[in-house]
Amino acid sequence: MNFNGKHLINGEFQADSDKSFQAVDAASTALLDGQFRHATLTDIDRACQLAGDTFPAFSSVAIETRALLLERIAFELEAIVDELVVRIGQEAGLPEARVRGETARTTGQLRLFATVVRRGDFLQARIDTALPERQPLPREDIRQCNSPLGPVVVFGASNFPMAFSVAGGDTASALAAGCPVVVRAHAAHPGTSEWVAKAIARAVDYCKLPAGIFSLIQGKGHDIGKALVQHPAIKAVGFTGSLGGGRALCDLAAARPDPIPVYAEMGSINPVFLLPRALDERAEALAEAFVASLTLGTGQFCTNPGLIIAAAGDGLNRFRKRVADIITAAQPGVMLNPGILNGYCQQQDKYRTEAELISEGEQATNRASVTLFGTSFAKWQDCAVLHEEVFGPCSLLVETVSSEQLLNAAEQLEGQLTATLWAQENELQDYPALISELTRKVGRVLVNGFPTGVEVCDAMTHGGPYPACSITNSTSVGSRAIERFLRPVSFQNFPNDCLPAALQNNNPLRINRLVNGQQDIEPIG
């Protein structure tokens, strides 16, 4: 597969400028094949304007057509997985098993949203029929369902070149909602992005949909993202990345004449609480499971366990020793790109000045070493540096001396994607306040597991209070992710034939609806 190197707009590769860049091999830092163009304001305006122009038609297509589009994208991605293994291995340093697994997750979530669309519950149809005889005032016929929000800009993520990038969850959920998508490809994997964009374009053509419902914009520099977020045709933004990047996009969106929502997932330290009895009874097993989670993907998952809060005692001593022994022998890993490796090393150096180095793995040029630092609860609570996320295979062990300190630690946490509790049978019953506090602070609370690995399903929440996410009551993973790109619209006294299909009396979609306060699938009247 060759590279065109231009932007995919209206089903064609085009570029307004000859200025270009190349991707870098994550392991060797050598330049990779392919010259990729930097987007200009003209390129961006055309892509966004096409998204706006095609929105009315795409938002009104039959939901079965949307479902078929999502399934066809999955089919097209599966057809190029062998090529993706090679290119993603170069651009992101990911091994074959990880690429195949992430591709399967990407196609799985596309098919999940096809199921969601067909199921119809995302429409949240509600009908209150007229009550002309009601006293003291009659009630009009009022019906409500969700409607697509409008064109969406999706920013590709560095750490998931498939699942959170061009055809990832943001794109899948936006298309499922009926929203055209303009993707801003991550500059670290432009080749992967182009191949995936081609697959989407083939699916759009196969389904005979307007080509303008999907575009890919390449290039480096913050000006591209700024222009996309500020374009008047864009109505929402999906982003997975750093706190600084997400916050900048939020500020740009808020400063528009018509502010728009930015659904930014911006990182998390994902605290793990080791309760006393769990530590005493299985310290060594916990240590082994923890290091496996910490080093998964070279620690570059947004759910990486970057903070361990544990009760002092013999169990913690055994845990600490076993972790140190494993980490000492741990091999260094390739990070996603040289910039991320440099940032990791800088953050490690900050920790070295404020905490004790418990253990460090083997080191090598252009590789990330595994590290575990330790500190007391008293030092941790007063040191801002030790509350910062370290993006990579590094974690901090905080030793507490009482159940009160465990609770105080939870109270001092910022918003997180996840929090984990390790406990023996019935031990959680002694910590109701801790559980309650964590429920307020995070999007997902786990018991006796580690947070790396986010199941794509109806019940999953991948979000949390700020700064984990910019909008607390949302998720970027699972079927509810579609809700980010919808808005409720009410129709009052409409002729039946002019209503959306979800609200018509005969219920042609055969979906479950809330009719006069009761769930019902049957026709009305």
Tens of pLDDT, residues 421-467: 999 999 999 999 999 999 999 999 999 999 998 999 999 999 999 99
Domains of the chain, CATH where assigned: 7-20+33-266+475-483 (3.40.605.10), 271-447 (3.40.309.10)
Side chain identity at 375, as an amino acid letter? Answer: T
Summary mean pLDDT of the chain: 97
At residue 14, the 3 state secondary structure works out as: strand
**pLDDT tens sequence across 224-253:** 999 999 999 999 999 999 999 999 999 999
Q: Which residue's entry shows tokens 């098919």?
A: 111
CB 265 within 8 A of CB 417: yes
pLDDT of 267: 83
Q: Which of 174, 234, 209, 215 is nearest to 57 (CA)?
A: 209
Burial class (CB in 10 A: 0-12, 13-18, 19+), 35: middle
Rounded Cα distance between 122 and 109, Å, is 15
Catalytic residues: 265, 302
* Run of H or E including 263: strand 262-265
In angstroms, the Cα distances linking 329 to 162, 168, 288, 359, 396 are 31, 35, 13, 10, 18
What burial letters (b/e) apply to 306-332, b meaning 16+ CB within 10 Å?
bbbbbbbeebbebbbebbbebbeebeb
How far is C-alpha 442 from the chain's CA centre?
A: 15
* End-to-end C-alpha distance for the chain, whole angstroms: 58
CB 272 within 8 A of CB 422: yes
Q: Which residue's entry shows tokens 């019935």?
A: 426
**pLDDT tens sequence across 61-86:** 999 999 999 999 999 999 999 999 99
pLDDT of 247: 97
Both tokens of 208, joined, read 């005979």
The reported pTM is 0.96
What percent of the chain has a predicted confidence (pLDDT) above 90?
A: 99
Residues sharing a CB contact under 8 Å with residue 365, sequence separation 6 or more, in sequence order: none
Rounded Cα distance between 474 and 417, Å, is 11
